[in-house]
Amino acid sequence: MQSISPEIIFRGNDAWERALPQITNLTKSPLILGRSTYTYDLRNKIFRDLKDQDLNANITNLHFDCCYEDISRVKNIIKSNNHDSVIAAGGGKVLDSGKYIAESLNIPCVTVPLSASTCAGWTALSNIYTKNGQFIKDVALRSCPKILVYDHKFIRTAPSRTLASGIADALAKWYESSITSSSIDDGLVQQAIQISRVLRDQLLIDGGKAFNNDSANNSSWRNIIEACGLTAGLVGGIGGERCRTAAAHAIHNAITQIITPNKFLHGEIVGVGLLLQLRLEEMKNKNKLADQSIKQLLILMKELNLPTTIAQLGINVFENQNIDKIADFTFRDNSEIHFLPFEVCKQDIIKVIANFEQQKIKL
Ligand SMILES: [Zn+2]
């Protein structure tokens, strides 16, 4: 079974207003789920608009992350108030929690992304973390959300850092799926990989303009937020489980195991993982194009103010055996690193990270 996309998608400047009648048809007692204080006003607007439709709406926030503690607390709220849907309004962690909770209670989920940081508003997937933000696992869901509301006016209010993070995460689609899945003899998987290549090209061409967001280039901004929030999700939907992530996400998952005072966004960490994946390809797979890709990516990542080393994520890999901790988690059983089509061992990743971090001045 494969769920390719949300059942209904509203996109554009007044997507939320246009979605309201459909939402009113779907649910009489929705629970709005959010998290960040940045998005408090938007969630309040959503709440008031639903109340104006005579819906018995309620609102609650995640305390931590997309973690089992929050999931079971929110599930109890839904059960005790007889809510009949979840409206997840926020970034990836909120969207993933909303989808997971709705599915486990067998009620529909409406996703309302409030930034372009992720394609979680689209996908049938939830990433589960500890309450401190350490990655635990991916959970494949039975279906994509019932309704996705991609309201450009809402997304325009998000900090530009979220867009940069979304661009890095969407870029990873091509570099990861093309290396893990290009030998799979399945038309849909091949077409998903081709879409991710076009997606990468668009991000490389227009990502900087969208991030700098001058009004003359409004169409760049529009195309890029939709690339990050919609097209990246479509690639996952068409490619399915076999259009896989690889080292960039495996390294992301490992880096989140080290708790730092400042939290970084998913795509910010994936971007660093992507550079390390390419170095690994260069070293172990003799991929001569990898070095060019790194140079090309670094130009964009600097323009987007994205971190390009683990040190810039607030972690000194040469302290507290951090490099071993990252390598151990990257190489655990079930890690995406094992999808790479060439031999690679723990010592290789230690070498790549050590070289990379020592060269950080030159990068
Ligand atoms: Zn990702």
Distance 168 CA to ligand 1 centre (A): 9
Cα–ligand 1 centroid distance for 120 (angstroms): 9
Residue range 239-291, pLDDT digits in tens: 987 777 889 999 999 999 999 999 999 999 999 999 999 999 999 888 889 99
User: How far is residue 264's CA from residue 65's CA, in Å, rounded to a whole number?
Assistant: 13
Identify the pLDDT of residue 26.
Answer: 98
Q: How far is the CA of 232 from the centre of ligand 1 (A)?
A: 10
- Asked if residue 272 lies in contact with residue 251, where contact means CB atoms within 8 angstroms, the answer is yes
Give the Å distance between the CA of 283 and the centre of ligand 1: 24
Report CA 87 to chain centroid distance, whole Å: 18
Give the pLDDT score at 150: 98
Expressed in angstroms and rounded, the spacing between residue 266 Cα and the centre of ligand 1 is 6
Alpha-carbon gap, residue 334 to 337, rounded angstroms:
8
pTM score of the predicted model? 0.96
Q: Ligand 1: distance of its center to the CA of 134 in Å?
A: 14
Query: Are the beta carbons of 229 and 116 closer than 8 angstroms?
Result: yes
Nearest of 33, 42, 95, 67 to residue 233 by alpha carbon: 95
Decide: helix, strand or coil at residue 337. helix
The predicted structure's pLDDT at residue 361 = 43
Q: Which residues of the chain have a pLDDT value below 50?
A: 361-363
CA of 249 to the centre of ligand 1 (A): 7
pLDDT of residue 68: 97
Q: What is the pLDDT of residue 360?
A: 56
Cα–Cα distance between 151 and 14 in angstroms, integer?
Answer: 6
Residue 189 CA to ligand 1 center (angstroms) comes to 18
Instruction: Check if the beta carbon of residue 47 is closer than 8 Å to that of residue 39.
Output: no
User: What confidence score (pLDDT) does residue 216 get?
Assistant: 65
The rounded distance, in Å, linking the Cα atoms of 207 and 202 is 7
Give me ligand 1 centre to Cα 74, in Å: 24
Judged by phi (left if over 0) then psi (alpha if -120 to 50, else beta), residue 334 lies in: left
User: Is the C-alpha dihedral spanning 125, 131, 132, 136 positive or negative?
Assistant: negative
Task: Give dist(CA 74, CA 121) in Å, integer.
Answer: 19
The answer to whether 161 touches 305, Cβ cutoff 8 Å, is: yes
Handedness of CA 120, 167, 229, 339 (dihedral sign): negative
- 257 CB-side CA count, 13 A: 20
Instruction: Report CA(80)–ligand 1 centroid distance (Å).
Output: 33
* Dihedral angle, C-alpha 281, 282, 285, 289, nearest 10 °: 90
Residue entry with tokens 């971190």: 307
